[in-house]
Amino acid sequence: MAEKKSTAKTAAKETEKKVPETVTAEDTKKEGTKTAAEAVKKPAAKKTTVKKTPAKKTAVKKTTTIKAKTEEAKAVKEEKTEEKAVKEEKTETAAKKAPAKKTTAAKKTTTKKAATAKKEPAKKTTAKKTTEKKAAAKPAAAKATSKKVKVEQYESFSMDSCIAMMQAMGVHYSYDDYARELMNEADLKKIEQKLISDFKLNAEAFDYDNDGYDLDLIPVVLAKIAETVDFKASDYPKMAEQSKACIAYEMGSDFEKDGEEYLNEFHLFERILMIAQRQGLHSQEELKNVIDVELNDLMRHFMRLARTVLPRWQYDDVKFYENFAYALLSQFNDLFVALNNELMMDVADLYILHEDYGHGDADYNYIIRENQIKDYIYYRFAHVYEDIDLDKAKGIAYDALQYVDGRYDYYQPIIDILNRQ
């Protein structure tokens, strides 16, 4: 019995020597955590939960050192396998989302597929930018309005609207200012250039599509105003030709034709007077520099025509003629000196022929008083009454003899009136 107990104790001691130190669950957990920490050195750019194998609480087992190491190696292998799966999952996620963020040096060594996946979206972006540029270029081309369309639009506006747009561009002209320019210059292109120069207009400063007007408006405004004015510089050559035709006209027995010619010359003189007034012309020479017309000859012809036509017209026509004719003479100083007395006698004759004897006689008496040479005045005064009142005509002729004798040109015509039966 003593030997059996001794043998049992000896066997127990040997067993204690052979059995390694027991590995507790806590030790296994610490080693597993340390190994996993060494294996996973750098976290991923995105939060990805790495499933860690929970360390189960195990009872103390009696295992050999070799078996413990084998299990520990298996755990590390499983951790690496899981980590590899996590990395592959991250790579697939990065390929799908294609982030533009900076990656670490570790991510630069990703697979070719991930790099290709990143490049493809960049190509699409470039294509989109090109498309956007083309799309942006199309509206700009559509905005450009042709000159023809602009001119048609300007022509549809009223003249006042066009003048207002010109003022918006800085051309502070009224209708009369444009009319004055048209009177001074026949070439519309020269007027256009003058406006651009005087008001320092810049073509790039105005855009039709944005502002509603540009420099193409200028010729349209000038053309619109030119259509409405009574006369302009481009009409001057026609007026010169018309004046020559008037001087060449010969009065005859056709009363209606003479009346039409009177009105024709009256309207011609209307335009001449307005041009002279607006341009400040006060002599025949100044007028001739603007319009090639022989004003003295034209006026004398008009006065003769009035003496022929107006006795058959209305009394008011005589008054109108008087006022108009004196306006002409008053505008041109040299014409007034040459034709004033002649015109006064013509008007006095017309009043007498329209039986306004008091008005006519007063005019003649005024002329006689104001002039030193009286023979022609007395002859005209007596002559107008020959067919109306011969006795009065002879009385006027007899009064003339106190101022007129044989030295004067109209002495004999006055004697003829006195001797008339």
Contacts of 143 (CB under 8 A, 6+ apart): 209
Report the interhelical angle of 175-184 vs 159-168 (nearest 10°): 90
- Does residue 253 lie in a domain region? yes
- Does residue 318 lie in a domain region? yes
pLDDT in tens, 76-117: 566 656 555 555 555 555 444 444 444 443 344 444 444 444
Q: 41 by DSSP, 3-state: which?
A: coil
* C-alpha–C-alpha distance, residues 51 and 343, integer Å: 128
Letter string b/e over residues 397-420, b meaning 16 or more CB atoms within 10 A of that residue's CB: bebbeeebeeebebbebbeebeee
Q: Are residues 253 and 332 in the same domain?
A: yes
What pLDDT band is residue 421 in, cutting at 50, 70 and 90? confident
Q: Are residues 308 and 245 in the same domain?
A: yes
Q: Are residues 238 and 324 in the same domain?
A: yes
Q: Are residues 154 and 221 in the same domain?
A: yes
Q: Are residues 209 and 239 in the same domain?
A: no
pLDDT in tens, 386-411: 999 999 999 999 999 999 999 999 99
- Does residue 162 lie in a domain region? yes
Q: Are residues 238 and 322 in the same domain?
A: yes
Cβ–Cβ < 8 Å for 258, 309: yes
DSSP conformation class of 310: G
Range of the domain at 330: 234-337
Q: Are residues 210 and 262 in the same domain?
A: no
Domain boundary among 315, 337, 359: 337
pLDDT in tens, 345-360: 999 999 999 999 999 9
pTM confidence score? 0.61
- Does residue 72 lie in a domain region? no
Domain boundary among 302, 337, 372: 337
Q: Are residues 259 and 224 in the same domain?
A: no
Q: Are residues 178 and 271 in the same domain?
A: no
**Which of 72-76, 261-265, 345-349 has the least mean pLDDT?**
72-76
262, 363, 358, 267: which is closest to 311 by C-alpha?
262
Q: Are residues 215 and 251 in the same domain?
A: no
The pLDDT of residue 61 is above 70: no
Structure tokens at 354: 């329209």
* C-alpha–C-alpha distance, residues 310 and 325, integer Å: 13
- Does residue 323 lie in a domain region? yes
Question: What are the CA-CA distances from residue 175 to residues 24, 161, 165 (Å)?
Answer: 113, 12, 13
Burial label for 53, CB within 10 Å (0-12, 13-18, 19+), is: exposed
Structure tokens at 148: 């023809």
The number of domains in the chain is 2
Q: Are residues 216 and 243 in the same domain?
A: no
The pLDDT of residue 27 is above 80: no
pLDDT computed for residue 82 by the predictor: 59
98 against 163, higher pLDDT: 163
Q: Are residues 250 and 320 in the same domain?
A: yes
* C-alpha–C-alpha distance, residues 196 and 218, integer Å: 9
- Does residue 247 lie in a domain region? yes
- Does residue 128 lie in a domain region? no
Domain boundary among 229, 259, 279: 229
Write phi, then psi, for 55 (nearest 5 degrees).
-80, 115
- Does residue 48 lie in a domain region? no
